[in-house]
Amino acid sequence: MFSSDDRIRKEEEKLKESQKVFGYVFDNSTLLNIYRFFHNGYLDRFEFPIASGKESIVFAASKGDRFFAVKIYKVTASNFKNIREYASSRWGIGKISSKRKLMNEWAFREFENLKNAKEAGVTVPKPIKVYGNVIQMQYIGTKSRPALQIKDIEPSDKIVEQIINDIRNLFLKGKLVHGDISEYNFLYHRGKAYMIDIAQAITTDDPYSLILLKRDVTNIIRFLNKFGYSLNTDLVMKYVKGEADAFR
Ligand SMILES: Nc1ncnc2c1ncn2[C@@H]1O[C@H](COP(=O)(O)OP(=O)(O)O)[C@@H](O)[C@H]1O
Ligand SMILES: [Mg+2]
């Protein structure tokens, strides 16, 4: 049992943590972008922080009683140099020297890729709106708890089917390769796996697309095969590229 002193201390620690997070992330341009979501009626409150990584921070936020996920690309990202190199080699936009502009571009790519993936029939959070470096999308989870990454569940046959088919649909219909597929970038919710974190996706006409596709497929198979599946990389690759009718 917690005494009430313990509980108050815990609450204070939680509050301090979130203040630290806010202070670190919210430079003026980010604050302005967040303000636009509120001012234009997309959101009316932040609920709780979900995750904080090197490049981004994700919150649950709400409008009335509907929850949304808000992903904010950090303008203060420590790996800016890597992202800039990526952007100049992949998109030919080496001219962007401002972190702010580059993070806006990154967020915009994620928004567009989510839209294309959704249209291709891939299970992704539905994108709602992007302002600068801030994206609003469908929230995956319940009001008390965000969805788990699939690394924390035991994938069923149905989930395996769905994941492989989503990688396939993204490739064949969406003309995209995710490029960072792993058990961290799928969320499990109500029997479905949602593909997330898709800003870095590249188009299938990129000379590296098949290399990245193979890396994606290898990564996810390595995870799935831990649960007694015996998926074969070559066959799954064929299936994903539309050169085979089944992957097992
Ligand atoms: N739409 C969403 N609904 C609920 N949680 C989400 C959503 N999008 C991201 N998250 C949570 O935030 C974490 C980080 O998001 P992600 O897009 O993978 O960014 P990063 O680039 O930091 O890995 C995810 O692992 C997941 O826990
Ligand atoms: Mg991620």
Interval between CA 46 and ligand 1 midpoint (Å): 16
**127 pocket-lining for ligand 1 (C-beta < 6 Å):** no
Mean pLDDT of 106-120: 98
Give the global pTM.
Answer: 0.87
Domains of the chain from N-terminus onward: 4-138 (3.30.200.20), 148-240 (1.10.510.10)
pLDDT of 189 strictly over 70: yes
How many angstroms separate the alpha carbon of residue 7 from the centre of ligand 2? 32
> Which ligand sits closest to the CA of 70?
1
Q: Which residues contact 163 (CB under 8 A, 6 or more apart)?
A: 150, 155, 186, 193, 195, 220, 224
CA distances from 105 to 24, 42, 44, 110, 112 (A): 21, 21, 25, 9, 10
Q: Which residues does the annotation mark as catalytic? A: 180, 197
206 Cα to the center of ligand 1, angstroms:
26
pLDDT above 70: percentage of residues in the chain:
85
- Residue whose Cα lies nearest atom 16 of ligand 1: it is 197
CB of 50 closer than 6 A to ligand 1?
Answer: yes
Question: Whose atoms come closest to the Cα of 150: which ligand?
Answer: 1
**Per-residue pLDDT reduced to its tens digit, 148-179:** 999 999 999 999 999 999 999 999 999 999 99
Tell me, using a 6 A CB cutoff, whether residue 150 lines ligand 1: no
- Give the burial string for 185-224 (b: 16+ CB within 10 Å, else e): bbbbbeebbbbbbbbbbbeeeeeebeebbbbbbebbbebb
Above 70 in pLDDT, residue 185? yes
pLDDT at 219: 98
Q: Whole-angstrom Cα distance, residue 166 to residue 170?
A: 6
What's the pLDDT score for residue 55? 86
From 16-30, 40-54, 93-107, 167-181, the region with the lowest mean pLDDT: 16-30
